[in-house]
Amino acid sequence: MPIILIYMLISTALTCLLTMIPLAFAKKSLTDHEKLSPFECGFDPNKSARIPFSLRFFMMSILFLIFDVELTLLLPMAITTKHSSPLTFMLSVGFLVFIITAGLLHEWNQGALAWSN
């Protein structure tokens, strides 16, 4: 048992050492102007690359991700039909569809789905 512990300590120390050596000797400049500027096929950029994006687009993408995850929870429920009673299956699927529909109606009521005001 102690030989395994010794091997684990040696391998951990070797891993840490091999990770720290390149970090210590790497030539890295945090203020390199060429790396911080955007690349547009070798030409200088016309505008700033750090322009703000639309908050509506961000909210729409977050809503898409939320409903996408909820739908990925709904699709594997077809496998559970063999392992549960039909009543339990229909109640669980109905509850999940109710939650998804209630969330969609809430977002619609709040105006999150309206692209322009």
Both structure tokens of 26 = 């790497």
Kindly state whether residue 115 falls inside one of the protein's structural domains: yes
State the pLDDT confidence band at 98, using cuts at 50, 70 and 90: very high
Averaged over 19-28, what is the pLDDT? 80
State the pLDDT confidence band at 8, using cuts at 50, 70 and 90: very high
What is the torsion angle, in degrees rounded to the nearest 10, for the CA atoms of residue 46, residue 52, residue 57 and residue 61?
Answer: 100
Kindly state whether residue 13 falls inside one of the protein's structural domains: no
- pTM across the whole model: 0.48
Kindly state whether residue 39 falls inside one of the protein's structural domains: no
User: What is the count of structural domains for the chain?
Assistant: 1
Mean pLDDT lowest for which of 41-45, 78-82, 97-101, 110-114? 41-45
Both structure tokens of 73 = 């929870």
Residue 104 belongs to what domain range?
Answer: 86-117
Kindly state whether residue 29 falls inside one of the protein's structural domains: no
Kindly state whether residue 42 falls inside one of the protein's structural domains: no
Unique residue bearing structure tokens 């998804």: 100
Kindly state whether residue 27 falls inside one of the protein's structural domains: no
